[in-house]
């Protein structure tokens, strides 16, 4: 007998306290991405925001030229 598809009683039970009221979406992530990598994303966003502000404060600064390029490339990735 096949195991796929809908099974009676499968899934989270209402009121179990796990994910109550939260919308969830299953996504596939490479096994190379660790939990620590995922937890570092908010910190990375803060660092990017800080250096983006530095670049904006010095729009003509030559030393920020390559930093601006890097930030722009990262922003195009959606971070």
pLDDT in tens, 13-35: 666 666 666 777 788 888 898 98
Asked if the model's pLDDT at residue 46 lies above 80, the reply is: yes
46 in a structural domain: yes
Task: Sort 72 into a burial class: Cβ within 10 Å, 0-12 / 13-18 / 19+.
Answer: exposed
> Do 45 and 71 form a contact (C-beta atoms < 8 A)?
no
Q: Give the Å distances, CA to CA, from 27 to 8, 9, 10, 30, 77.
A: 24, 23, 19, 10, 17
**DSSP 8-class letter at 51:** H
61 in a structural domain: yes
26 in a structural domain: no
41 in a structural domain: yes
How many structural domains compose the chain? 1
Q: What is the pTM of this model?
A: 0.56
**What local confidence, expressed as pLDDT, does residue 15 receive?**
65
């Amino acid at each position: 007998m096949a195991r796929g598809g809908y099974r009676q009683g499968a899934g989270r039970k209402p009121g179990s306290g796990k994910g109550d009221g939260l919308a969830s979406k299953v996504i596939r992530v490479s096994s190379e991405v660790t939990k620590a990598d995922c937890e570092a994303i908010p910190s990375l966003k803060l660092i990017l925001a800080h250096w983006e502000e530095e670049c904006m404060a010095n729009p003509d600064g030559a030393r920020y030229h390559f930093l601006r390029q890097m930030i722009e490339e990262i922003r195009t990735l959606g971070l």
